[in-house]
Amino acid sequence: MFSGGSYSAVQVAAELESITRDGVVQGQSNELACTCSGADLNVAIAAGYAFIGGYWYYNSASQNIAMVPDAAEDRINRVVLHLDLAAKTIDCILVAGTPDTPPVAPALDYAANDYEISLCQVYVAASAGTIAQTNITDERKWAGPNAPARHYLTNSAGAALPLGDVVIVDSDGDKKFKTTTAARDLAVLGVVGEDDGIEDAAIGLVIKSGLARVHVDAATTRGQYLVTSTTAGEATPKTNREVGTFAIALETTAGEALAWAWLFGQADNALTTAAAFCPVACDAGGYLPHNSVDGDAILASAVVASKMTAKGQGAFVWHIPGAAVVSTNIQLEYVAPFALTLTGGYIIANVAPTGCAFLMDVHTGAGAGTTVFTTQGNRPSLADAATGPTAVVAPDVTAVGAGTRVFAAVDVIGSTLPGQYITLILAYKYALVD
């Protein structure tokens, strides 16, 4: 090797982990696809390759993993790749969920010497004798480059900027950046990526997306979202994803500090007409689930958005990427950019809820908000075993003021199957101005 010696497996894995994102290798073998015959309780894991923690996994032939139903209640299991650093093994194993009503998928293991990535969720009904393909939710993520997107730009902030400082585009100069004191600044570009910082008027590395250290202005909990702070160069943690969000924290800090975070590449802008958003489900890490992109749907969405905007119309769109769970806030919030009137819409599912009707609600205002469907029987709903689209009538409260927060909740899921990949569209109209 270059050093004149050799490298251990741990050192090689650390290097691979720094440049390769964990996940299944796409296009190789059968991509560890999870399927079933429908005749028994087995889930078949196809041949394929994966990276996990920098280590290489290879499954040379299909293997069956048996689901064990509970006698009284449903459960959600996971099939995962489990890395055991102490035992130096990677195994494809079943992680059984706790029987419950409604059931919840088991958490993945992220201990010091153990690490897991999920291949699929499997919904196992009480006393079930078979597993159907509709019971399986694909959770594979594709392995790929882990290096962040970075660019060399000129510091025009008027002072040296240290590692992790948040910067925005400087519209007064080409290929330049500066800091901001505006909360939720939509012009956020990224963070300073040089260990020694970047001197004023000097060219240096700015990280735009991917893994980076970010200067946070207060105690931060991993999983919180980050927006620009009113203090130059810093980011403020937020519980909910909102206008101006540009990253998600991956590390907990006790106060102001440098925290590891994942940068999205641009700030969220809910001031854009909501119908213009592409109807593609992304997970919490910003990755696209297997087979989630529909080019025709993207094109149709753009056409509809342009026509609606020209007529003073738009729509709020909420999408649940995977199996639905009861939630008071499905973590996609909007802020009304102007006064508008809600007019109704549609709800649709890729996999129908079964056992009972599926119900959502829409709230406005601060905190827990207030429902716009005071007649609760008019809430957006899908009947038992229905995928829709099902019409949603205009709510009782139709007026939404400029600057008002708008968000959705899941009130009831199917008692047998919860329903999967569900989209709620709530249209609105507004007055056109010159």
CA-closest candidate to residue 83, choices 44, 48, 43, 112? 112
Degrees, nearest 5: CA angle 37-41-44:
55
For residue 56, the one-letter residue type is W
For residue 135, the one-letter residue type is N
Question: If pLDDT is split at 50, 70 and 90, which confidence band does 3 have?
Answer: low
Question: If pLDDT is split at 50, 70 and 90, which confidence band does 272 have?
Answer: very low
Q: How far is CA 301 from CA 204, 273, 305, 310, 325, in A?
A: 39, 11, 6, 14, 26
Q: How far apart are CA 39 and CA 41, in angstroms?
A: 7
Q: How far apart are CA 157 and CA 146, in angstroms?
A: 29
pLDDT at 155: 95
Fold of 9-145: Triple-stranded beta-helix (2.60.520)
Handedness of CA 59, 137, 110, 19 (dihedral sign): positive
Mean pLDDT, residues 40-59 taken together: 94
CA-closest candidate to residue 46, choices 75, 67, 25? 25
**Whole-angstrom Cα Rg for the chain:** 24
Where helices occur in 20-107 by DSSP H, the ranges are none
Summarised one tens digit per residue, pLDDT across range 83-120 is 999 999 999 999 999 999 999 999 888 777 888 999 99
Q: How far apart are CA 249 and CA 243, in angstroms?
A: 16
pLDDT at 311: 52
pLDDT at 131: 96
pLDDT at 113: 84
Fold of 274-429: Jelly Rolls (2.60.120)
Mean pLDDT, residues 223-231 taken together: 93
Coil/strand/helix, residue 114 = strand
Which of 33-42, 300-309, 414-423, 425-434 has maximum average pLDDT?
Answer: 33-42
Q: What 8-state DSSP symbol labels residue 288?
A: P
Domains 9-145 and 274-429 alike in fold: no
pLDDT at 274: 31
Q: How far is CA 237 from CA 227, 230, 234, 252, 283, in A?
A: 7, 12, 10, 11, 20
pLDDT at 166: 97
Mean pLDDT, residues 72-82 taken together: 96
Asked if residue 303 has pLDDT above 50, the reply is no
pLDDT at 129: 96
Summarised one tens digit per residue, pLDDT across range 128-151 is 999 999 999 999 988 876 656 778
Mean pLDDT, residues 291-316 taken together: 51
CA-closest candidate to residue 161, choices 206, 211, 208, 217? 206
Summarised one tens digit per residue, pLDDT across range 363-410 is 999 888 999 999 999 999 999 999 889 999 999 999 999 889 999 999
- Give the domain ranges of the chain: 9-145, 149-264, 274-429
Q: How far apart are CA 128 and CA 105, in angstroms?
A: 17
Degrees, nearest 5: CA angle 329-267-220:
65
Q: How far apart are CA 79 and CA 66, in angstroms?
A: 10
Burial class (CB in 10 A: 0-12, 13-18, 19+), 96: middle
CB count, 10 Å around CB of 331? 14
Summarised one tens digit per residue, pLDDT across range 12-24 is 877 777 677 788 9
User: What pTM value is reported for the model?
Assistant: 0.43
Here the tokens at position 88 are 């130096």
For residue 416, the one-letter residue type is T
Coil/strand/helix, residue 381 = strand
pLDDT at 61: 95
Q: How far apart are CA 274 and CA 131, in angstroms?
A: 38
Here the tokens at position 333 are 């919030």
Question: If pLDDT is split at 50, 70 and 90, which confidence band does 199 have?
Answer: very high
Fold of 149-264: Virus Head Decoration Protein; Chain: A, (2.40.300)
Mean pLDDT, residues 154-162 taken together: 95
Q: How far apart are CA 119 and CA 62, in angstroms?
A: 14
pLDDT at 59: 94
Q: How far is CA 15 from CA 10, 51, 148, 285, 306, in A?
A: 9, 12, 15, 21, 46
HSE at residue 408, side-chain half, CA atoms within 13 A, is: 22
pLDDT at 330: 80
Here the tokens at position 235 are 């980011």
pLDDT at 380: 96
What are the phi and psi torsion angles at 34 (to 5°)? -105, 115
Q: How far apart are CA 339 and CA 118, in angstroms?
A: 43
Instruction: Determine what percent of the chain is predicted with pLDDT higher than 90.
Output: 55
Mean pLDDT, residues 195-218 taken together: 90
Coil/strand/helix, residue 44 = strand
Question: If pLDDT is split at 50, 70 and 90, which confidence band does 5 have?
Answer: low
pLDDT at 87: 92
What are the phi and psi torsion angles at 119 (to 5°)? -95, -40
Q: Which residue has the higher pLDDT, 157 or 242?
A: 157
The count of residues in the chain is 434
pLDDT at 276: 31
